[in-house]
C-alpha cells in the first residue's frame, strides 16, 4: 500500500519535525510551567484532538481550500492569534492575589485545558497547510487506498507528536514543582503564562502567510 522506500524517510522526518519547537510545544510548556505536569499533559491531549481535525480536513480536501484562499487563510490565522492573545491578556491583567489567596489559586479545569489545547491547534492554519504539503509526499498516488494512507500517516504523526509533548510537559512540570512551594511564585506564574501566550499569538498573527 505504501511505497516501501518512503516509510523510513517518513518516520525520520516526522520525528525531527515533532522534536522541533513550535507553537504546540510552546503552548504545552507554558501550561506545564503554570499548573504543573498534569495540566501540560491534558493540553497535549487537546492538541492531539485538534490535530485530528486537520487530518480529517486534509483527507476531505478542506486544507486545499485554505491553502488556495489567501483571505480564508488570513482570517483563520487571525482568529487563532486573537484567541491566544485573549487567553494571555486575561492572565496578565488578572488582579494580583494576596499571599493567603495565592495558596488557594483555583486551577483551570482539565476539560477547559483540553478545549484550549484543541482550539490552539485547530485555529492554526499552518497545521492544515503542513498536512496538505507533507503527507502526500509519502503516499502511493496509484493506490486505490490513498485516503487510508493519508489517515495512517497522519495518525502516526499525531500520536508521535503527542508523546513528545507529554515528555516535554513531564520534564518541565518536574522542574517547576519546587518553585510552587514559594507563595510568591503564584503571583508570577499567571504573568509568565500570559506573556508566553500573548507572544505566541502575536507570532502567529504577524508570521508570513507562505
pLDDT, mean of residues 123-147 = 78
pLDDT of residue 35: 83
Angle among Cα 15, 19, 189 to the nearest 5 degrees reads 150
Out of 72-76, 93-97, 116-120, least confident range: 93-97
Domain chopping of the chain, boundaries: 37-206
Q: Is the pLDDT of residue 70 over 80?
A: no
| Residue % of the chain over a pLDDT of 90 | 22
Instruction: Give just the sign of the alpha carbon dihedral 201, 167, 40, 30.
Output: negative
Task: Say what the alpha-carbon torsion angle 77, 83, 85, 87 is, to the nearest 10 degrees.
Answer: -160
Alpha carbons 16 and 18: distance in angstroms, whole number? 5
| Residue % of the chain over a pLDDT of 70 | 78
Q: Is the pLDDT of residue 210 over 60?
A: no
Alpha carbons 167 and 18: distance in angstroms, whole number? 12
Per-residue cell: 75? 482570517
Amino acid at each position: 500500500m505504501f511505497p516501501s522506500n518512503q516509510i523510513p524517510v517518513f518516520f525520520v522526518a516526522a520525528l525531527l519535525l515533532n522534536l522541533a519547537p513550535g507553537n504546540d510545544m510552546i503552548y504545552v510548556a507554558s501550561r506545564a510551567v503554570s499548573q504543573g505536569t498534569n495540566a501540560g499533559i491534558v493540553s497535549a491531549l487537546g492538541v492531539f484532538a485538534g490535530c485530528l481535525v486537520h487530518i480529517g480536513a486534509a483527507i476531505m480536501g478542506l486544507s486545499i481550500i485554505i491553502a488556495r484562499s489567501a483571505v480564508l487563510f488570513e482570517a483563520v490565522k487571525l482568529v487563532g492569534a486573537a484567541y491566544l492573545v485573549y487567553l494571555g491578556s486575561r492572565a496578565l491583567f488578572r488582579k494580583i492575589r494576596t499571599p493567603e489567596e495565592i495558596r488557594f489559586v483555583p486551577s483551570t479545569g482539565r476539560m477547559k485545558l483540553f478545549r484550549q489545547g484543541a482550539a490552539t491547534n485547530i485555529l492554526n492554519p499552518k497545521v492544515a497547510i503542513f498536512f496538505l504539503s507533507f503527507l502526500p509526499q509519502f503516499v502511493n498516488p496509484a493506490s486505490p487506498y490513498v485516503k487510508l494512507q493519508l489517515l495512517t500517516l497522519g495518525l502516526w504523526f499525531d500520536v508521535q507528536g503527542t508523546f513528545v509533548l507529554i515528555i516535554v510537559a513531564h520534564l518541565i512540570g518536574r522542574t517547576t514543582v519546587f518553585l510552587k512551594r514559594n507563595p510568591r511564585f503564584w503571583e508570577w506564574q499567571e504573568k509568565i503564562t500570559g506573556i508566553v501566550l500573548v507572544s505566541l499569538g502575536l507570532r502567529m498573527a504577524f508570521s508570513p502567510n507562505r
